[in-house]
Amino acid sequence: MIDFLPTILFVDDEKSTLNSMCRFLRREPCRMLFAESGMDALAILAEGKVDILVTDLRMPEMTGLELLEIVSNRFSRILRLVVSATMEKRERDQVLEKVAVYEFISKPLNPEEFREIRRMAISIVPAGE
């Protein structure tokens, strides 16, 4: 049991955001992976070790939504979370029309809220694949 640690993949084109998240989750019982683009993320996902995907929506080249669509098709068991600065209802609806998302987290992160979500997300990841 102790051996099992869920793996979270963070995707954001902003390196500092990734760093801050890494620090924020430093002591959580999880493994963290980071990708600065959708393509990088897909490469990591291909290795098949990711349990939770946390992605930004507005990114150059591949958008968060496009990434989410691929993930929901190819890696449907991965828990999907969205972190975005554009948390308009309309945009949220656009996402939800196409893919199922566990939770939306709006930027800038409210640390307390994020902690809560982080805990929840980790706890529901099925232990032992």
Partner 1 sequence: MKNNAPQHTAVGLEQEIALLKTINRNVNDALQKAIMFGDFNLHLSDTKESSLDTILDIAMKRSAQLIRFTDGGFFLVDETSADFVIKSVRPNDARNVLVAEVEHLIKMKLFHWVLKRKKPVFFKSSHGKKQLLLHVLATTTRVRGMFICYLDEEYQKIDDHRLTLFSLVMYNCANAVQLYELHKWNRGVTQKLEENVQSLAQSQGELESHRSKLEGLVAVRTESLAASNIKLQQEINERRQAEVALAEAQKGLEQRVRQRTRELEQAQSQLMIHEKLASVGQLATGIAHELYNPLNFIRTNMACLEEYLVDFVTILRLYDNLAENCLRQALLPELTQGIASQKQRIKYDNISEETLKIFKENSNGFERINEVVNILRNFTSAGFHDQIDHFDLNLAIGETLMLSRNITEHGITIETDLADLPPLSGQSVLIKQALLNVLINSIQAINSRLHETEGQITIRTFADSRHVGCVIEDNGPGIPEQEQIRIFDPFFTTHEPGSGKGLGLSTTYDIIVNKHGGKISCVCPPQGGTIITLLLPLAKPPQGGRDD
Contact assessment for residue 50 and residue 9, using Cβ atoms and an 8 Å cutoff: yes
Give me the helices (H) in the chain, please.
15-24, 38-46, 64-74, 89-98, 111-124
Is residue 111 a contact point for partner 1 (CB under 8 A)? Answer: yes
Q: Which stretch binds partner 1 (CB under 8 A): 19-27, 41-49, 68-76, 118-126?
A: 19-27
Among 4, 43, 88, 119, binds partner 1 (CB under 8 A): 88
Residue from 39, 85, 96, 124 binding partner 1 (CB under 8 A):
85
Cβ proximity to partner 1, 45 vs 64, nearer residue: 64
Q: Is the preceding peptide bond at 108 cis, omega within 30 degrees of 0?
A: yes
β-pair partners for 8: 32, 52
**Cα–Cα dist 84/77, whole Å:** 22
Contact set with partner 1 (CB under 8 A): 14, 16-17, 19-21, 23-24, 26-27, 58, 85-86, 88-90, 107-109, 111, 114
